[in-house]
A and B are shown apart, each in its own frame.
Chain A
Amino acid sequence: DAKTTQPNSMESNEEEPVHLPCNHSTISGTDYIHWYRQLPSQGPEYVIHGLTSNVNNRMASLAIAEDRKSSTLILHRATLRDAAVYYCILRGTGNQFYFGTGTSLTVIP
């Protein structure tokens, strides 16, 4: 399964944009890029996913590099409730997710 690499931790000030990077240099043509986040004492929750084009939803935006070897999750205005571990996951033709180590986001008031 293709691997993802993320920084262990990042900090952001409240109400400022946050850019969370993910490298996936071994991505295959059929792998979708998924982002999930996990708040303390909860299960992971879906944030956004994409294949080739940039994607927007009410939670975030996903910017995918043209060669698809990296992507960036963008939170437009970080709030304290966005403090969580963010996982970048590649899902191919198989049924399963394999999680990488994720980025722990701290939001500073």
Chain B
Amino acid sequence: DTEVTQTPKHLVMGMTNKKSLKCEQHMGHRAMYWYKQKAKKPPELMFVYSYEKLSINESVPSRFSPECPNSSLLNLHLHALQPEDSALYLCASRRPTGGSGGYTFGSGTRLTVV
């Protein structure tokens, strides 16, 4: 299995809703990432998990809450989002230690906040 699987592919939520995005990989990668991508812009790093521990939070608002319950799974919990949070949310993974290896990205969840 060489994929990162993200669910759902599309999500529409109201500003008072609570929802979660899910990311799963079975490649044995121990570093996992959340990126946010607005239309026609490059992906922006949000969070980094290394060995299931949060190692980087790029000053993301608290309405986004990441969780890494095990080495294969990464969640992003969403609460009280704003319309400007509408974007493509990308998950990625890689081996964290040494070497030159790159990332494997999922296809993303396209989020619309209404």
* Chain A residues at the B interface, C-beta cutoff of 8 Å: 32, 34, 36, 41-46, 49, 51, 87, 91, 95-102
In the complex, which residues of chain B have a beta carbon less than 8 angstroms from the beta carbon of A100?
A: 42
In whole angstroms, how far apart are the Cα atoms of A85 and B100 in the complex? 22
From B14-22, B64-72, B104-112, the one touching the partner chain is B104-112
In the complex, which residues of chain A have a beta carbon less than 8 angstroms from the beta carbon of B102?
A: 34, 36, 46, 49, 91, 97
- Which of A42, A51, A96, A101 lies in contact with B42, CB distance below 8 A? A101
In whole angstroms, how far apart are the Cα atoms of A95 and B44 in the complex? 14
- Which of A43, A95, A99, A101 lies in contact with B96, CB distance below 8 A? A95
6 further contact pairs, Cβ within 8 A, besides A95-B48, A99-B43, A100-B42: A32-B100, A36-B103, A51-B100, A91-B100, A95-B50, A95-B94
In whole angstroms, how far apart are the Cα atoms of A47 and B48 in the complex? 22
Q: Is B81 an interface residue (CB 8 A)?
A: no
In the complex, which residues of chain B have a beta carbon less than 8 angstroms from the beta carbon of A97?
A: 33, 45, 92, 102-103
Contact A96 B105 (CB under 8 A): no
Q: Is B55 an interface residue (CB 8 A)?
A: yes
- Which of B33, B42, B94 lies in contact with A102, CB distance below 8 A? B42
In whole angstroms, how far apart are the Cα atoms of A41 and B80 in the complex? 26
In whole angstroms, how far apart are the Cα atoms of A49 and B104 in the complex? 13
- Which of A32, A51, A98 lies in contact with B45, CB distance below 8 A? A98
